[in-house]
Amino acid sequence: MSTSDLSRREKHYAFGGWQEVWQHTSHTLNCMMNFSVYLPPQAATGPVPVLYWLSGLTCNEQNLITKAGFQRYAAELGVMVVAMDTSPRGSDVADDSAWDLGQGAGFYINATEQPWASHFRMYEYVVDELPNIIAAHFPTNGRQAIAGHSMGGHGALMIALKNPGRFSSVSAFAPIVAPSRVAWGQKAFNAYLGHDTRHWQQWDSLCLVEQGQPLPPALIDQGLDDPFYPEQLTTELLETACQARGMIAHFRYHEHYDHSYYFISSFIEEHMRFHATALQL
């Protein structure tokens, strides 16, 4: 991809660095896609590590950059932060009238069923296409971490598990840790992957841990006043599985906090410092 294939849509100065939003034609998703990049001040003089952020249902690249308040800490720590939309978009992209399926609900998997398979390949986009763009056009030193919220927490954990050694660390806020066992995941997986639940296991973090896939150092935060906990967010299932396998995974449960970005903004500094420490190893 040449620089001319990228179009910068936003540029804002924040804490000595630049918050940018870019648009490009995704050959993986067959549509136009937006992604955001925060370039800390250190990126002006040399390459820096990257934290990839995956957002939740109905969200896009704007939620993190406008609500979480991470830029202050990314600037201090010298970490580039990249966030992307949660699905392919466009009038020719398949959709559903429900908020938890179709556009805005890509679940970070590669769909195999039509009409979804033509566009919904978010796993490939996050793992291959977008990192290649970042490496080619932005000052990264190649070290990577990954994080996410809700559906994006599912995506971050699952992608880290499926790509051992690639990420220095992973973290999640209120993740869907066992999508095969809850209504949100079952609805999406049935549509995107078909009725054979055996095909779902490769996209399910709990299944991957139980199958022996390694997890990098992990930090998982869950609010106890989250309306989706515990029915959709079966956090303890993953905690038990990680403990049984001796994985370095810290699970924290917080009274009064819900599913919103008020929760994320309350603990984003700790997540940024957790990743910065791992990225410097």
Q: Which of the residues are catalytic?
A: 150, 226, 259
Q: Rounded distance, CA 79 to CA 148, Å?
A: 16
Query: Residue 173: phi, psi to the nearest 5?
Result: -105, 125
How open is the CA angle 231-173-213, to the nearest 5 degrees? 85
Using alpha carbons, select from 128, 131, 91, 98 the residue that is nearest to residue 110: 128
Cβ atoms of residues 170 and 157 within 8 Å:
yes
Given a contact cutoff of 8 angstroms between Cβ atoms, the answer to whether 126 and 84 are in contact is yes
Biggest CA-to-CA distance, the chain: 51
Give CA–CA dist 234/252, Å, rounded: 13
**C-alpha pair distances (Å), 37 with each of 1, 71, 79:** 17, 11, 11
The residue type at 227? P
Q: What angle do CA 267, 269, 275 make, to 5 degrees?
A: 110
Both structure tokens of 7: 């179009």
Question: Can you tell me the distance from the alpha carbon of 270 to that of 268, in angstroms, rounded to the nearest whole number?
Answer: 5
Pairing relationship of beta strands 17-26 and 6-14 according to DSSP bridges: antiparallel
Peptide bond into 115 cis (omega under 30): yes
